[in-house]
Structure 1
Amino acid sequence: MLQLLTPQPARHPAPTVHAQSLAFLIFERPDLAEAEKFLMDFGLHVAFRSEDELYFRSAGSDPYCYRIVRGEQARFVGFGLSVAERSDLEKLTSLAGASDIEDIQGLGGGAFVQLRDPSGFTVQAVWGRAAVTPLPHRAALALNQGDTHPRINVTQRPAIDPPEVLRVGHVVLEVADFQATCAWYTEHFGFIPSDVQVLPDGSPAVAFLRLNLGDTPADHHTLALAQGFMPCYSHSAFEVIDTDAVGMGQRILRERGWTHAWGIGRHILGSQIFDYWQDPWGDKHEHYCDGDLFSADIPTGIHEVNRAAMAQWGQPMPASFTKPKISTANVVGMVHSLRHSPDLSIRKLITLAKLFG
């Protein structure tokens, strides 16, 4: 039986708070018009626009799920996690580096506390955002399968439009300081490891972390952390209604000239049917449907990590999917991490390169 030979990932017995959902993502972009073009083709809708900011919403009831701030460099800043009570914000203000409770000056209102995780990503804990009216979207298509034939004398003709994104589902980050970062999220936001992929030495390579919602089923992962050589964004994922919506997304994005990253396929861990696309700066965005849901009592699974373990069917994961961006800053970051991170070594980097290179 595979064993995890490091303290993390592990659920914490008494977290500071229990996060309730992934609220939004935050990016900086030098060209807001180009960012808008991609995200509209991807299936999001502009909720607010100014000279220096763009807010996008899904078809769901959140006021926005994607925020872009104008910046000189294209970069991922962080994300928001919703909490259940204002008192949760008060608890979080006691953490090192936390801001005071501040009112949200923008869409949805409410209040937030801003924190920074051990890998340097911004995390905004938010409470009290006002819901908006959901946008209309088509129902999942009725499928004739085997002995079940719900569709008689009726054809299937979904509209040839960008897929209707229902919500932001999860975000995946690469980190150098894996143990400290994973411990921070399990201790302070109550994340539970659903599945962990381990290297041959038993150390974690990827942890898929779900929300602890008790008996209420939660997505297999809302946050995933991967061992890398420096902190960076891997991808974010957005739920659509069904497989046809995933396929229609591929058609639309391909016809409109965007760069495909990987898919269509079905993941092994999480079971999602997926398709990945790159935005104008090469950052990956995923359409998915049919993901697993777990209640809090389901234990953690431990698995060997390898490229074949990433998908049940479909195109094998291309080497370009995990290939790091080569830049002076990244080389400097890798050297810094090798010198200072207790979770990294030359041997581990070589192992990761052989597995995914």
Structure 2
Amino acid sequence: MSVARLRSLRSVALRTPNVSEAAEFYREVWGLSEVEGDNGVSWLRGAGAEHHILEVRRAERNALGKIAFSVGSPAEVDDAARALAELGVPLVAEPGRLDQAGGGYGLRFADPEGRLVELSTEVEAVVPMEPQGRRAAPRKLAHVVLNTVDIDAAVAFYRNVLGMRVSDWSEHQMAFLRCNADHHVIAFNQAEWTSVNHVAYEMPSIDHFMRGVGHLRHQGVTPLWGPGRHGPGNNTFSYFADPAGLVCEYTSEVEQVQEDAWLCRVWRRVPELSDLWGTAGPPSKDVRSHMAGVPDPGRWWER
């Protein structure tokens, strides 16, 4: 029994010493729009209705600040708090009104590797921007990939506590988990330390995806890896590094899962399956180094 029925991946918070440069990059180059900013923190929206999909906050080192998932109602948040208590998962923030941009009602707790997880509802919405326009702006947050020192424990927690389903494995190196029809909203990568691997932003179409890649090239920002199309998830990809060195991805056409017909499979980790188009080739040592990030001890709110 999971503690809640997650509807979507709402937002991700990143912590970095390079907050000003990173926020400017996501505003001026990446295609997001700032909805609010204050004293070392910036909240940025995409073209969809979500109030913000990215929070960038000043910190001593690059790290994950928070992962936020949406649920249906305040009652579901309260039920989740009781269920978490029964499972022995302590709360970092009790159910209540959220003191953050966009407001809302929610709670927060830590996963086994010290990542802050938020369940929220009634967050302010914003008017969607140019849903069929030509501007290369991400529509929403697509997924976040996290490096973990114990992939089996990470998958078990997000399955058993948060009710996620495993869509696919990439051998025993990566696991792709979903909470709705999108093939994955979170993935775990077995690694030497806990850290952010990358954050992916969904473009409205493959045309917008390529416009985004082209726009970045005109800004002098070239891909670390891509463009290409992944095997697991069947989504397009092009990876870049922001000024803080954190990896961000443009993606589109994420595979949609039909629950009653889907069969989880284990993909081989070979170049022809990591990029079905054959345009990007295998990830380089530089790409892997960026995706490894720096060790993130988590539980930053206790320090």
Equivalent of 1:111, from 89, 105, 113? 105
Aligned to 1:302: 266
Give the deviation of 1:247 after TM superposition.
Answer: 1.9
Normalised TM-score (structure 2):
0.88
CA contact (8 A) 1:119 1:177 kept: no
Letter in 2 for 1:274: F
CA distance in 2, matches of 1:209, 1:264: 23
1:124 is aligned to 2:118? yes
1:185 is aligned to 2:158? yes
Give the deviation of 1:42 after TM superposition.
Answer: 0.8
Matched ranges for 1:95-106 at <5 A: 95-98=88-91, 99-106=93-100
Percent identity reads 24
1:315 is aligned to 2:303? no
CA distance in 2, matches of 1:25, 1:287: 15
CA distance in 2, matches of 1:325, 1:132: 32
Aligned residues: 287
Secondary structure of residue in 2 paired with 1:186: helix
Aligned to 2:215: 252
Give the deviation of 1:232 after TM superposition.
Answer: 1.0
Matched ranges for 1:113-262 at <5 A: 113-139=107-133, 163-198=136-171, 204-211=172-179, 213=180, 218-262=181-225
Aligned to 2:39: 51
Aligned to 1:86: 74
Give the deviation of 1:33 after TM superposition.
Answer: 2.5
Cα pair distance change 1:81/1:235, threshold 3 Å: same
CA distance in 2, matches of 1:289, 1:306: 22
Letter in 2 for 1:188: V
CA contact (8 A) 2:200 2:250 kept: yes
Give the deviation of 1:96 after TM superposition.
Answer: 1.5
CA distance in 2, matches of 1:19, 1:208: 16
CA contact (8 A) 2:109 2:116 kept: yes
CA contact (8 A) 2:25 2:243 kept: yes
Secondary structure of residue in 2 paired with 1:124: strand
Q: Where do 4+ consecutive residues of structure 1 move more than 4 Å?
A: 324-327
Q: Structure 2 stretches of 5 or more lacking a match?
A: 298-303
1:19 is aligned to 2:13? no
- Please list the CA deviations of residues 139-170 of structure 1 after superposition, one character each: whole Å capped at 9, or x if unmatched: 5xxxxxxxxxxxxxxxxxx5xx6x11110111
Structure ID, larger Rg: 1
Secondary structure of residue in 2 paired with 1:101: strand
CA contact (8 A) 2:46 2:53 kept: yes
Deviates more, 1:37-46 or 1:297-306: 297-306
Give the deviation of 1:110 after TM superposition.
Answer: 1.4
CA distance in 1, matches of 2:263, 2:131: 35
Letter in 2 for 1:302: V
Aligned to 2:300: none
Letter in 1 for 2:35: A
Give the deviation of 1:194 after TM superposition.
Answer: 0.7
CA distance in 2, matches of 1:16, 1:299: 25
Letter in 2 for 1:36: A
CA contact (8 A) 2:20 2:40 kept: no
Give the deviation of 1:187 after TM superposition.
Answer: 1.0
- Please list the CA deviations of residues 303-340 of structure 1 after superposition, one character each: whole Å capped at 9, or x if unmatched: 2233432110111122222236899x75x98xxxxxxx
Cα pair distance change 1:50/1:35, threshold 3 Å: same
Aligned to 2:301: none
Give the deviation of 1:108 after TM superposition.
Answer: 2.4
Q: Structure 1 stretches of 5 or more lacking a match?
A: 1-13, 140-157, 199-203, 334-357
1:263 is aligned to 2:226? yes
CA contact (8 A) 1:19 1:81 kept: yes
Cα pair distance change 1:317/1:282, threshold 3 Å: farther
Equivalent of 1:272, from 235, 256, 260? 235
CA distance in 1, matches of 2:113, 2:217: 34
Secondary structure of residue in 2 paired with 1:323: helix
Letter in 2 for 1:179: D
Give the deviation of 1:259 after TM superposition.
Answer: 4.7
Equivalent of 2:255, from 275, 278, 292? 292
Give the deviation of 1:23 after TM superposition.
Answer: 0.6
Cα pair distance change 1:118/1:259, threshold 3 Å: farther
Secondary structure of residue in 1 paired with 2:78: helix
